[in-house]
Amino acid sequence: MRIFALNGSPRGKFSNTRVMIDELIKGIADRTGTTARIHDLILEEDVKELAMSTEQHELLLIGFPLYVDSMPGIVKEFFESMGALRRFPESKQIVFLIHSGFSEAIHSRFVERYCRKLASRMGFGCPGVIIKGGSEGVRFLSSETREQLLPMLRELGEHLAATGELRQDMLKELAAPERFEGEVLEMVRASIGDGTSHPYWDQLLRNNDAFEQRFARPLLG
Amino acid sequence: MRVLVLDGNPDADDKSYGAILSTFVQKLIFEGKPVEVVTLHQKNIKQCVGCWTCWVNMPGKCMLKDDVEGILMKIVESDLVIFASPIILGFMSSLLKRFTDRMIPLVLPYFQVLEGEIHHVPRYENRPLLAAVVVAEEETDREDHEIIFDIYTRNALNLSTKLSMYKVFDRNGEELASR
Ligand SMILES: Cc1cc2nc3c(=O)[nH]c(=O)nc-3n(C[C@H](O)[C@H](O)[C@H](O)COP(=O)(O)O)c2cc1C
């Protein structure tokens, strides 16, 4: 099985997307012994040519971070280039991995609908869409999310290679929470404060000597 | 009502789109609204690289140097921002999306709960209403209309504002959907 893997993160090599796609590929390799190279979209010189090259592959793995409720601009550009290849005879499978800064899967569900529609437009089979919220820490080696997440992605990859399917129970577990409700929502509400401070961002602001400017409005004339 | 139209058409030769958008803009002007159109394909708009400089290094400012800051300055002075684009493969153009990715300096890194979900807090007091105006491609169907509408409704939520208008035109300028 020839696999085309795309890292659609504008951050390129040091991105959460890359770590996650890499783990799926490792899982596939555990089963099949064949590995795949990951294309970092932001570093590619010719998006059209890259999109053309998907033609030689049977499985497309397309990963991207949620950017303003949908795919990053460069990923849309890649899709547009792929559009030109529509309905060629060979059958293909496409798997999307969409992840977001916010913890709830609900943020990614809308662009998921777009991706499924795209698959059917292209005449591709789509075993599923992997959704993961709260992904911002995955690229850091010591992160907790990373330790829990990576073994699951690897298993998902292995199972995909073995059966051609994504395990629905694992997709559900990865996507949880779908949204915050009831008591949990109240806890979340309490933990995010009044919208004028947050430990994570405040620390970064302080490290950069920018804390005093945190509410700056430089665009006002 | 100051109106800003962000024209995300990547193809200057797309005459039917151009005619439909200019008819639409003429109507707004006729209603007495001051309208400014920004033609994105004439601008230099780089892809956001997710560095968070605009949140934690130079709050409110992007480190990329191109035409985006000038457009954001117009947005914070507007009452209504209209995202206009031909539908390409079921969604707004990649050009318009690339610009949209650059709008995060308009929010703070901090969080709030809106409609039971986590979202960011706005940086500016003035939060223009949003609208989306699109021109269908041949294969556009109702599902496409709805996906675009839903995603723009979420964009508005993310910016703590509302989607005040949504229109889909066919290539003859007939309204296929309007909300
Ligand atoms: C311009 C921009 C827009 C973003 N928009 C959203 C969003 O709408 N919802 C969300 O949950 N996360 C959003 N994020 C957060 C990213 O999805 C998140 O940080 C992700 O982990 C980045 O992954 P990467 O390292 O692979 O690029 C946005 C990030 C950036 C830079």
Nearest-5° angle of CA B89, CA A109, CA A66? Answer: 75
Asked if A50 and A41 count as a contact pair (C-beta separation under 8 A), the reply is: yes
- Whether the predicted pLDDT of A120 surpasses 70: yes
Each residue of B83-107: pLDDT tens digit? Answer: 999 999 999 999 999 999 999 999 9
> Can you tell me which atom of ligand 1 is nearest the CA of A65?
17
Q: Which of B77, B94, B116 sits opposite A77 (nearest CB)?
A: B94
Residue B29, domain extent: 3-178
pLDDT of amino acid A87:
60
Amino acid (1-letter code) at residue B28: L
Q: How does residue A201 score in pLDDT terms, banded at 50, 70 and 90?
A: very high
Give B173 Cα–ligand 1 centroid separation in angstroms.
36
B104 in ligand 1 pocket by Cβ < 6 Å? yes
Q: Whose CA is nearest to atom 1 of ligand 1?
A: B101
pLDDT of amino acid B99:
98
Mutate to test the pocket of ligand 1, among A7, A17, A66 (most ligand atoms within 8 A of CB): A66
pLDDT of amino acid A88:
60
Task: Return the axis-axis angle of helices A168-175 and A144-163, rounded to nearest 10°.
Answer: 160
pLDDT of amino acid A89:
55
- Whether the predicted pLDDT of A90 surpasses 70: no
User: Whole-number mean pLDDT of chain A?
Assistant: 95
A136 in ligand 1 pocket by Cβ < 6 Å? yes
**3-class SS at B91?**
strand
CATH number where B10 lies? 3.40.50.360
Q: Which of A10, A67, A110 sits opposite B150 (nearest CB)?
A: A110
Q: How many CA atoms lie within 13 A of B39 on its CB side?
A: 10
**What is the CA A1 to chain-centroid distance, rounded?**
22
Which residues of chain B, if any, have pLDDT below 70? none
Each residue of A5-42: pLDDT tens digit? Answer: 999 999 999 999 999 999 999 999 999 999 999 999 99
Q: How does residue A194 score in pLDDT terms, banded at 50, 70 and 90?
A: confident
Q: Output DSSP code: residue B39.
A: E
Q: How many domains does chain B have?
A: 1
Percent of chain A having pLDDT more than 90?
87
**DSSP-derived secondary structure for A107-166:** HHHHHHHHHHHHHHHHT-EEEEEEEESS-TTTTSTT-HHHHHHHHHHHHHHHHHHHHSS-
